[in-house]
Amino acid sequence: MMKFRRRIFLGLAIAFGMSTTASAQMMINGAGATFPYPIYSKWFDAYTKVDPSVRFNYQSIGSGGGQKQILSQTVDFGASDGPMSDENLAKAPGKILHIPTVAGAVVITYNLPGNPALKLDGDTIAGMYLGRIKKWNDPKLTALNPGVKLPDQDIVVVHRSDGSGTTFIFTDYLSKVSSEWKSKAGNNTSVNWPTGIGGKGNEGVSGQVKQTPGAVGYVELIYAKQNKMPYADVKNSAGEFVKASPDSVIAALATAEIPDDFRFSMTNAPGKDAYPIAGATWLLVYQQQKDATKGKKLIEFLKWALTKGETMAKDLDYASLPESVEQRVLKRIDEIKM
């Protein structure tokens, strides 16, 4: 009987201990960009070893969704690859800070027989997405790719169907290199696409391109690499064809003019080594935190991400922030209040 009671007591103690641990663990919720999802996932996983009392629940729903959710205060932080507009910031119930984390490349990937290495320029990319260049053996494409046998095959344009920071970076680039694109479609997280089929998230566009012969799409670099998909070298503003890589994104980032509010563009950057379709990604947080305990934990995470987390960037094909920018961002994090 005593043994039985002891077992019950032990079982209750274990259960009580487990429930205490579970209830002590704080959940910090975020939502938004798919562009940085691979590195954010790694950060959130690594951070559980730094602070086991915190768990991050991040929904990779696209930058448009991240901006909406931080505005409605249904998450503790949003994530976006396009900075919020003045109009959207004015709708917020408090001041939202843009915390840049890493930068990355948006690549043009395709599905062609033999997956040849291609070279593209801004005019040709805009032509395909405007629906003007309809065939893979169009003279503009063959002129850029001498020696490459391009098929007499329809081009199937794939774009994002959701509000997307990857779209913001891509259309920001197209608006700088094509006046026709700027006037017809413009630059935003979501635009009226002149042609093509949609895919949800970087994952959706990668999947559509992979399963559709003749398709062309734009995705963040790591999605093309993880799916073993080819991506084109793109002609930059200095006239050089550049392959997307952390180094060519760092070269673009080095020329960016970064204002005090950290809302900036780095597409079509000057310099012969700069990859032209590159952009930063931001975490969006309220300067005045509602929950002091959660706010303190979020600040600790942000400081860790900007220092220790940045060292993981290159392995996942992102570019870390230059140290001068990192120091400025850390000062901005210090402005978050409880």
CATH number, domain containing residue 138: 3.40.190.10
Query: Given 239, 255, 278, which residue is the final one in a domain?
Result: 278
Q: Is residue 8 assigned to a domain?
A: no
Phi, psi (5° rounding) for residue 176? -80, -30
Residues of the chain with pLDDT under 50: 2-23
Residues 274 and 141 in one domain: yes
pLDDT of residue 131: 97
Are residues 199 and 266 located together in one domain of the fold?
A: yes
| Any domain includes 212 | yes
Mark whether 240 and 164 lie in a shared domain. yes
Question: What pLDDT score was predicted for residue 189?
Answer: 87
**DSSP β-bridge partners for residue 56:** 28
Answer yes or no: is 261 within a domain: yes
Query: In this structure, are 262 and 134 located in the same domain?
Result: yes
Residues 134 and 218 in one domain: yes
pLDDT tens, 85-116?
999 999 999 999 999 999 999 999 999 999 99
Pick from 47, 88, 86: nearest CA to 70: 88
pLDDT at residue 338, as a whole number:
87
Which pLDDT score, from 0 to 100, does residue 24 have? 67
Residues spanned by the domain of 200: 105-278
Q: For position 12, what pLDDT does the model report? A: 44
DSSP bridge pairs for 30: 58, 77
Query: What is the residue whose two structure tokens read 């700088």?
Result: 176
